[in-house]
Amino acid sequence: QVQLVESGGGVVQPGGSLRLSCAASGFTFSNYGMHWVRQAPGKGLEWVSFIRYDGGNIYYADSVKGRFTISRDNSKNTLYLQMNSLRAEDTAVYYCAKVTFASGDYVSSSGAFDIWGQGTMVTVSS
């Protein structure tokens, strides 16, 4: 079945780095754009980043721009999020999510988020 499994979360000190991974299965990963979304404890959903199906057209939320880097390896069916210069306010569960429509060039043409992983917790604390 269609599945996304995140990994790489943990506890890191402020200013530190972490790389999250999202392993995809059950669909043709290279045809679909992907998102990262985070949720701070007890809070709502915050979109983080998008990458087009082929690795082009990358977007970031202002809150992470310049610190986080999204990438993908279509040969490994895996999505990544490199997080640098981490801050306490980055503490959250991080979800990867698949878009609804294949081959979308932009966020709008890719549609809503139809499959989500279970999430991986990132805690930034000294």
Partner 1 sequence: DIVMTQSPDSLAVSLGERATINCKSSQSVLYNSNNKSYLAWYQQKPGQPPKLLIYWASTRESGVPDRFSGSGSGTDFTLTISSLQAEDVAVYYCQQYYTTPRFGQGTKLEIK
Shortest distance (Å) from residue 59 CB to partner 1: 5
Closer to partner 1 at the Cβ: 83 or 97? 97
Rounded-to-integer distance, Cα 66 and Cα 60, Å: 9
Name the residues that contact partner 1, by CB under 8 A: 35, 37, 44-47, 50, 59, 61, 95, 100, 107-108, 110-114, 116-119
Query: Quick one: 23 or 107, whose CB is closer to partner 1?
Result: 107
Q: How far is the CB of 39 from partner 1 (least distance, A)?
A: 9
Q: Cβ distance 68 to 49 under 8 Å?
A: yes
Q: Which residue, 46 or 67, is less far from partner 1 as judged by CB?
A: 46
Triad 96, 7, 21: Cα angle to 5°: 60
Nearest distance in Å: CB 15, partner 1: 27
Q: Which is nearer to partner 1, 27 or 116 (CB)?
A: 116
Least Å distance, CB 83 to partner 1, is 19
With H, G, I as helix, E, B as strand and everything else as coil, classify residue 89: helix
- Angstrom CA distances, 5 to 21, 61, 81, stand at 8, 22, 13
The helix (run of H) or strand (run of E) holding residue 58 is strand 58-60
Which H or E run includes 107?
helix 107-110
